[in-house]
Chains A and B, each alone.
Chain A
Amino acid sequence: MFEDLYNALQNFRLNKARTILSLLGVIIGVASVIIITTLGQSATQNIKGSFGSSGLDIVRLNAGFANRRVATGSSITFNEDFRTELWDNIPHLKGIYYNNTLSGTVGYGDVSVSSSITAIEYEYLEMNKFELENGSFFTVSDSVQGLQKIIIGSEVASTLFSQGDAVGKTVILISSNIRFGFEVIGVLKEQSSGFESTASALYILRGFYDKKISPSSTANSVVIQLIDQSYATEVVDLIKSYADTKTGQTNSMQVTSMQSMLEQYDEVMGTVSLLLSGIAAISLLVGGIGIMNIMIVTVTERRKEIGIRKALGATPNAIRMQFLVESATISLFGGVFGIIFGLVLSAVATYVMDWAYAVQWSACLIAFLFSAFVGVFFGLNPAARAAKLDPVEALASE
């Protein structure tokens, strides 16, 4: 066995170009398996990273497509009754926060910034685990009284107040036909959590929105905090079916959660990876056929050598083993080089895309074992041909 290996290496040395060409199929196959799995893993980690660690316990409700298109009477409005219904009918809830959004501009002096403004309820920012760069959050009394106070993102702050402190200054908020002055009480650190990122955010109080902009309004969206993120998928389904039952429509409400999105993403990613791995496996198979081809050529070319070995007393088994070891060696080399190429190429790709480099070692192992299997499997037929050769004919061949 060891000597067969030594022998195989000697033969590769003499047929360098051919050996490398036949290696190529396996190298490409194995490398693509490694690249696909590594990039898939890296992309997943990257996307999960951008979601942030927090926000997974949040479910968000928006008006559904059916609700917008079909003007049937039984649609759900995000009013106070609905809030009570949620509390009564859906388990695992920790908090319910109503949001209204409006678009407008915020100005200070000559500078103004257009952005979307979110009217929020007490403790919404704290629930999102946002942190302050400066100033303070809304208090309960701020919220109840609906005071003209605003908390702004760090980017907005640095645009409006290029020098000096933002906190305590009054900014002018203009949205369609309304115009109010707001006192800046806090500047948020740049952060992202769940569905929101704070850099260019503007938060006012829903108490104010209710009182001055749109009295007894219904919310645009509802943000629900769960007791634990593990309930996310369950709660999403419960709310959907609750809404659908109530309205008698499907997709009456759009219910999303980071957690269930991640799960869907994982599912899609898994399917895509499987598909791509299948393609890679096919290329490995093609590589294997390439090896079989080259081994048949080798056996044909080395009939004389086979004849000599048989004359010297090699049994059919010994000859079979010799050629099996040779084809297995080719494909194992292919496997090793393929893994190296795959790791290097995916390292370069993740570096360029600034992703985490997440190698799936199990995939490496599987690709390696598969390439070994390919070598043995596709070597069987050529090796059997060699073993079966008639020594007299083999010796007589040129």
Chain B
Amino acid sequence: MNNQEYSSPVHKNIPVIEMSGVWRVYTMGDNEVQALRGISFSVERGEFMSIMGPSGSGKSTCMNMIGCLDRPSSGDVIIDGKKTADMTERELAHLRNETVGFVFQQYHLLSTMTVLENVMLPLRYQGISMRDRKDLAKETLSQVGLLDRLDHRPHELSGGQKQRVAIARAMVTKPHIILADEPTGALDSVTGKQVLNLFGKINEGGTTIVIVTHDPGIGESLPRCVHLFDGQIKDDTRNDESEHKNPKEVFYV
């Protein structure tokens, strides 16, 4: 899977993610933790990239910023042209719902719901009618090849199937960005590769895909990789331009 290359349809110069001078500081008791220390980068529509870094590098915080789950302490995060710092909880929820699709390492499917209901859930928060939700969810599930598992519950599925359900759930609202947190972390390498291929296919449709990972194999196989270290950008690599670079070297400095 390390050698798999993905072409990326970056034609339009429209930034969907813009981070400029983003700081995120947590206060824990008397301690101040600086998770992000002045990060700036921009992602254009249709990019397929990874954010890499060891634990504690701030990549999770960075992901939360892009996913509109968190707001910067200072600096600007602009998602799809909207500045998140000034938005209310409710506005953030709408932005998440319409613009971002989440895929998590542990799938995070709701265990009480069937596969179909899980995929329908984000549409419900858009106030779409039940019938349309069902049609859209079925259509999306057919794209990930799970039409025969509609009425199963998550615990009846394999890890790869669960992750495909999660991807369908992230895709169903047709978001501009799909944000995946270690999407292959809980999967074996073959299944992991299938999941990455699926992301590649989705990307071909124009969706921006950001994969947050500590796996240098993924970082090296994607067109672009932003390395974080100690809350700062250590490196922003475009693999098609700098194939001579050894990602391992970059990662383990």
Contact = CB atoms under 8 A, between A and B. Distances in A.
Interface in A305-353: 305, 308-318
B230 interface: no
A304 B90 contact: no
Contacts of A14: 112
A311 B125 contact: no
Contacts of B98: 313
B94 A315 contact: yes
A392 B64 contact: yes
B112 A310 contact: no
Contacts of B70: 391-392
A312 B97 contact: yes
A338 to B, nearest CB: 27
Interface in B97-135: 97-98, 102, 104, 108, 110, 112-113, 121-122, 124-126
Interface of A: 3, 7, 10-11, 14, 304-305, 308-318, 391-392, 395
Nearest to A9: B112
Given A309-B121, A392-B64, 7 more contacts: A310-B96, A311-B108, A312-B122, A313-B96, A315-B89, A391-B70, A395-B104
Given A3-B124, A312-B102, A392-B70, A10 B90 contact: no
Given A316-B90, A392-B64, A392-B69, A311 B110 contact: no
> Ordered nearest first, which 4 A-B pairs have the shortest CB separation?
A313-B97, A315-B93, A313-B125, A312-B122
A317 B90 contact: yes
Contact of A310 (B93, B104, B110, B173): B93
B233 to A, nearest CB: 21
A308 B110 contact: yes
Nearest to B122: A312
B112 A312 contact: no
A391 B69 CA distance: 6
Given A310-B93, A312-B169, A395-B69, A318 B113 contact: no
Contact of A304 (B102, B108, B126): B108
A368 to B, nearest CB: 28
A313 B112 contact: no
A316 B108 contact: no
A318 B125 contact: yes
B122 A308 contact: no
Interface bracket on B: 20 to 34
A307 to B, nearest CB: 8
Given A10-B113, A14-B112, A305-B110, A313 B69 contact: no
Contacts of A3: 124
Nearest to B173: A313
B67 interface: yes
Contact of B112 (A10, A316, A391): A10
Contacts of B126: 313
Contact of A311 (B67, B112, B124): B67
Contacts of B169: 312
Contacts of B69: 310-311, 391-392, 395
Contact of A316 (B67, B89, B122): B89
Contacts of B93: 310, 313-316, 318
Contacts of B102: 311-312
Contacts of B89: 315-316
A64 to B, nearest CB: 75
A310 B110 CA distance: 13
Interface string B60-86: 000010010110000000000000000
B85 to A, nearest CB: 16
A391 B94 CA distance: 14
A9 to B, nearest CB: 10
A309 B94 CA distance: 12
A313 B90 contact: no
B56 to A, nearest CB: 14
Contacts of B173: 313
A363 to B, nearest CB: 37
Contacts of A308: 108, 110
A11 to B, nearest CB: 6
Most buried by A among B64, B69, B126, B169: B69
